[in-house]
Amino acid sequence: MSYPEPTVGAVIFNPNDQILLCKSHKWDNKYIIPGGHIELGEKMEEALKREIMEETGLNIYDINLISIKESVYNKRFHEEKHFIFIDYICRTDSTKVVLNEEAEEYVWVDLKEVDNYELGGFIKPLLDQLKNEQDSAFKTEVFYGY
């Protein structure tokens, strides 16, 4: 692909206020948040709901934009690509996850425990921001040059 690929991702909180991390071979077998590509003609939140359902079997709601990041040919991904990551925070009423072929395993973790996991991509700075703002309103972050 010769142009940037817009993608969506979700920090999903379950009823116990734990977040979902998925281990993916696409990100060097590290933990990431679930998500995927926006298809032509698809709105961002529609893409998010579809991707989360496909990858985890979860229905999500209370969806709020929290971050936009860019990754240009980063060697951490298994292919040379230019991504635009559009990330959301949301909730689910379930803890039962059904993974598809894009992830090998998953864990539900307290936000304060994410440092115990090997995180892929830009997930650590995103989750660090959420940990620091957990007691206040979440804000949108725009970051260029990852």
pLDDT tens digits, 7-35: 999 999 999 999 999 998 887 899 999 99
Domain containing 130 equals: 5-143
In this prediction the pTM is 0.86
Residue 99 DSSP code: -
Q: Are 33 and 58 in contact (CB under 8 A)?
A: no
Number of compact structural domains in the chain: 1
pLDDT tens digits, 58-95: 999 999 999 998 888 877 666 778 889 999 999 999 99
CA 34 to chain centre: 4
Residue 112 DSSP code: G
Q: Are 59 and 29 in contact (CB under 8 A)?
A: no
Q: What is the 3-state secondary structure (H, E, C) of 94-132?
A: CCCCCCCCCCCEEEEEEHHHHHHCCECCCHHHHHHHHHH
What's the CATH number where 95 sits? 3.90.79.10
